[in-house]
């Protein structure tokens, strides 16, 4: 098991926990942040898997823009999951 392999395993654990957190948490803002974490780790994955183009796109669109769109939507509606 090399260094990169250990990092990938840690990242995967964080990814799964973040995804579960998106589903479980009652606070929508937290859920959106957790989903941004999922996108960020996906972006790191893409970089490790030799896809820098996709990593850049995921970072700009998945981590950046969609998070912002979700945040705006929550501002326009409500924050708590009833």
Partner 1 sequence: MRKALAVFFLAILGYYMLAVLLNFPFGIDHLNPELAGAYLRDTVSKTGAANVVTSIVVNYRGFDTLGEVTVLFLAATGMGALLYKGKTMGRSRQNASVIVKAGSRLLFPLIIILGAYVFIHGHLTPGGGFQGGAIIASGFLLMFISYRNYHVNHRILSNVESTAGSIFVIIGLLGLLYGATFLENIMPLGIPNKLFSAGVIPLIYIAVGFKVGAELTALLDTMLKTVK
Partner 2 sequence: MIYYIAALLLILIGLYGVLVKKNLIKIVLSLSLIDAGVHILLIAIGYINGKTAPIFSTPDLRPEQMVDPVPQALVLTAIVIGLAVTALALTIVIRLYDHHKTLDISKIRELKW
Residue 46 interacting entry, from partner 1, partner 2, none, C-beta within 5 to 8 Å by type: partner 2
Give residues with Cβ within 8 angstroms of 18, minimum separation 6: 34, 35, 37, 38, 41
Instruction: Compute the least distance from the CB of residue 42 to partner 1, in Å.
Output: 15
Could you give the dihedral angle defined by the CA atoms of residues 32, 30, 24 and 35, in that order, rounded to the nearest 10 degrees?
A: 30
- What is the footprint of partner 2 within residues 5-64 (CB under 8 A)? 8-9, 12, 15-16, 19-20, 22-23, 28, 31-32, 35, 38-39, 42, 45-46, 49-54, 57-58, 61-62
Q: By CB under 8 A, tell whether 15 contacts partner 1.
A: no
Q: Which of 36, 45, 28, 33 is nearest to 82 (CA)?
A: 28
Instruction: Compute the least distance from the CB of residue 78 to partner 2, in Å.
Output: 6
Q: By CB under 8 A, tell whether 16 contacts partner 1.
A: no
Kindly state the tokens that stand for 69. Answer: 């769109």
């Amino acid at each position: 098991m090399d260094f990169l392999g250990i990092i990938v395993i840690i990242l995967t654990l964080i990814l799964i926990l973040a995804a579960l957190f998106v589903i479980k948490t009652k606070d929508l803002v937290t859920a959106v942040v957790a989903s941004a974490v999922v996108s960020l780790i996906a972006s790191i994955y893409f970089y490790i898997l030799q896809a820098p183009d996709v990593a850049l796109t995921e970072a700009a669109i998945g981590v950046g823009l969609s998070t912002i769109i979700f945040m705006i939507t929550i501002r326009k509606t409500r924050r708590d999951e009833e």
